[in-house]
């Protein structure tokens, strides 16, 4: 039977009070999307507001384009799917085998506190299904709890965008919270390696990647978990 993955994207497009736009990061969506699709996995896309999620404009400048982002730009099917994400309130855990959150700064504002998203993560976790995220995506785990009322990241190995990487992009003071600090506060065994190097962690069904360059590595972990 074909496996099915739910990819959850942000609907938030304002970068704090900077007047700049944010959203999801293209590489962190495109690389896992094609990794999953090429492996024969069915993909459903969702976001809190439904429809077209906001793309962080910085993620589409030449410096950050990759083979996968170019492939996405040329792929009508992928673009149509992205333009018509389902409303998060309309998806059910029972319909999917795994859940994946691309990053970008958007989730730091909306998905971190989104009750529907949190409940969905908790349902996937309770059913022993892979829960995965990359870069700023792991912030979505911060408020999800297990059946005992403990944070699911507590005592578990996780990674995500590091404080030094946030400092490097000059957004430490713009963020409502820092991903690394928040996960550590929740009891996670947070670990990162040098800035921008590919780094992914697996702790059972919890799969996380550090930064945009970790998108392939975490997607592979998800595929391994599903097989």
Phi-psi region of 24 (alpha: psi -120 to 50; beta: other; left: phi over 0): beta
- As a whole number of angstroms, the distance between CA 160 and CA 169 comes to 15
**Residue 191 above 90 pLDDT?**
yes
- As a whole number of angstroms, the distance between CA 161 and CA 180 comes to 7
Complete domains list, the chain, with CATH: 4-226 (3.40.50.880)
Instruction: State how far the alpha carbon of 144 is from the alpha carbons of 31, 52, 171, in Å.
Output: 26, 26, 25
Span 114-134, mean pLDDT? 98
| pLDDT, averaged across the chain | 97
Q: What is the pLDDT of residue 1?
A: 86
Span 115-130, mean pLDDT? 98
Active site residues: 135-136, 166
Nearest to 1 by CA among 42, 43, 46: 42
**Residue 9 above 90 pLDDT?**
yes
Q: What is the pLDDT of residue 97?
A: 98
């Amino acid at each position: 039977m074909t496996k099915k993955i739910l990819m959850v994207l942000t609907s938030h497009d304002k970068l704090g009070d900077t007047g700049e736009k944010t959203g999801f990061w293209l590489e962190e969506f495109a690389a896992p999307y094609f990794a999953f699709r090429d492996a024969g996995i069915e993909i459903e896309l969702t976001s809190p507001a439904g429809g077209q999620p906001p793309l962080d404009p910085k993620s589409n400048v030449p410096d950050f384009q990759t083979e996968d982002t170019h492939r996405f730009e040329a792929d009508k099917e992928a673009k149509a799917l992205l333009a018509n994400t389902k409303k998060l309130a309309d998806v059910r855990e029972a319909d999917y085998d795994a859940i994946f959150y691309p990053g970008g700064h958007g989730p730091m504002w909306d998905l971190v506190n989104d009750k529907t998203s949190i409940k969905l993560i908790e349902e996937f976790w309770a059913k022993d299904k892979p829960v995965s995220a990359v870069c700023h995506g792991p912030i979505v785990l911060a408020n999800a709890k297990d059946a005992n009322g403990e944070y699911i990241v507590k005592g578990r190995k996780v990674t995500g965008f590091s404080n030094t990487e946030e400092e490097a992009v000059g957004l430490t003071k713009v963020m409502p919270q820092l991903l690394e600090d928040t996960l550590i506060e929740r009891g996670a065994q947070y670990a990162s390696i040098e800035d921008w190097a590919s780094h992914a962690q697996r702790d059972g069904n919890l799969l996380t990647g550090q930064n945009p360059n970790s998108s392939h590595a975490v997607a592979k972990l998800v595929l391994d978990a599903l097989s």
